[in-house]
A and B are shown apart, each in its own frame.
Chain A
Amino acid sequence: GEDVEQSLFLSVREGDSSVINCTYTDSSSTYLYWYKQEPGAGLQLLTYIFSNMDMKQDQRLTVLLNKKDKHLSLRIADTQTGDSAIYFCAERREYGNKLVFGAGTILRVKS
């Protein structure tokens, strides 16, 4: 299909790890991104991965890419209450060079 798919909601306890999953559609997408949006705010780029990589780590964030299954995940270690937000994955499609967003995953962190 055309859509980038994400689960809608994830709830974790403070200090646990969070894993947010995404399935994208275009196997020729060159870059895949994770954005964070806090209430009433714009989107903040967290990290991105190039399609020839299968893993990228950046402090508490780990991105895993399974290109065969077109599956992307974001792991947040030691999740904090400040991580509560909506997380969007996005793919940059080769055709039209457009950034297409998933529906977003609401992460709620309980203290």
Chain B
Amino acid sequence: DTEVTQTPKHLVMGMTNKKSLKCEQHMGHRAMYWYKQKAKKPPELMFVYSYEKLSINESVPSRFSPECPNSSLLNLHLHALQPEDSALYLCASSQGWGVTGELFFGEGSRLTVL
């Protein structure tokens, strides 16, 4: 199994809603990542978890709250988002943070904030 699975594939939410994006991998990877990708732009790193601990937060607003309940799961909790937060949110995993850095990406969750 070399897959990173993200759910939901599409999400529409209002600015007062609370929702979550989920990511799962069963490759035994110990580093997991959230990236944000706007249309026609490259992915931008948001968070890195290494061994279930938050290693990097790229100054992401607190309306995005990551959670790593175990080594296979990564969540991104969303609350009070703005329309400009609409984007493709990509989850990735790698064997370890700082190894070859080969990242396996999921298909992404496309978020629309109304």
Q: Which of B4, B90, B101 contacts A33 (CB 8 A)?
A: B101
Question: A11 CB to closest chain B CB, in angstroms?
Answer: 17
7 contacting pairs across A/B (C-beta < 8 A): A42-B107, A48-B101, A88-B42, A97-B97, A99-B45, A101-B43, A104-B40
A interface residues (Cβ-Cβ under 8 A, vs B) = 4, 31, 33, 35, 40-45, 48, 88, 92, 96-104
Interface bracket on B: 20 to 34
Q: Given that A48-B100, A97-B97, A102-B42 are contacting pairs, would A43 and B56 also be in contact in the complex, using a CB cutoff of 8 Å?
A: no
Question: A87 CB to closest chain B CB, in angstroms?
Answer: 11
Question: B37 CB to closest chain A CB, in angstroms?
Answer: 9
Pair A92/B56 contact, Cβ less than 8 Å: no
Inter-chain contacts of A40 with B (CB < 8 A):
107
Q: Is B67 an interface residue (CB 8 A)?
A: no
B interface residues (Cβ-Cβ under 8 A, vs A) = 4, 6, 40-45, 56, 90, 92, 97-98, 100-108
Q: Give the interface SS of chain A, mostly helix, strand, loop or mixed.
A: strand
Q: Given that A88-B42, A103-B42 are contacting pairs, would A44 and B105 also be in contact in the complex, using a CB cutoff of 8 Å?
A: yes
Inter-chain contacts of B42 with A (CB < 8 A):
4, 88, 101-104
Inter-chain contacts of B98 with A (CB < 8 A):
97
Question: B15 CB to closest chain A CB, in angstroms?
Answer: 25
Pair A42/B108 contact, Cβ less than 8 Å: yes
* Given A33-B102, A43-B92, 16 more pairs with CB closer than 8 A: A33-B101, A41-B107, A41-B108, A42-B105, A42-B106, A43-B103, A44-B105, A45-B102, A48-B100, A96-B56, A97-B97, A97-B101, A98-B45, A98-B56, A101-B42, A104-B41
A99 to B101, CA, bound (A): 8
Question: A100 CB to closest chain B CB, in angstroms?
Answer: 8
Question: B53 CB to closest chain A CB, in angstroms?
Answer: 15
Question: B10 CB to closest chain A CB, in angstroms?
Answer: 10
